Amino acid sequence: MKKIIVPIAFFILSATAGKAQTIIPAQYQELVKKLVASLPKEDKLSSNNSSAKQSESLIDFAKSMLGIPYRYATSNPKIGFDCSGFVSYVFSNFGFKVPRSSREFSYAGKETSLENAKVGDVLIFTGSNSRIRRIGHVGIVYSIDENGIKFIHASSGKVHQVTITDLDGHYKARFLKIVSIL
């Protein structure tokens, strides 16, 4: 977006700044009008607002897959998801290039803290044994409120499907880090 606006603004300013260039040729006036008209309208709180809208859309999309069964090494909603397959499927639907493996999510996005977590961030956990501090599970922050953080993920546990879970004692013990993709 900024890559388009800057050249247009430079063209307009340079065309109107010089004394010898007091009139822009009609063909360029029309071109500039069309380019400016095709630019999306931005809200006053554009970055925060669009980020909030994007995370809301991302969560709505993820929520539409609740109940899809867990299936190891799969990222197809018709068959099932493993944890990283689910997370990568959700983000790739919004044009983000994210890893397919839970271990690689450690290098994706920007690391943040639980205190600064936002809806849409990716939580990274150990595998089912919290004493082995190696990445083995990922999920997406679903909600944050006075009761804590909930996340949506493809669980291989009892529910064995895409579900929403509290970041409680069990998962808190397995927590390794959180990264922001949006």
Q: What are the residue numbers of the active site?
A: 83, 137, 153
Among 129, 151, 121, 138, residue whose Cα is nearest residue 83: 138
Answer whether 150's CB lies under 8 Å from 142's CB: yes
d(CA 71, CA 127): 16
Q: What angle do CA 117, 83, 119 make, to 5 degrees?
A: 20
d(CA 27, CA 25): 6
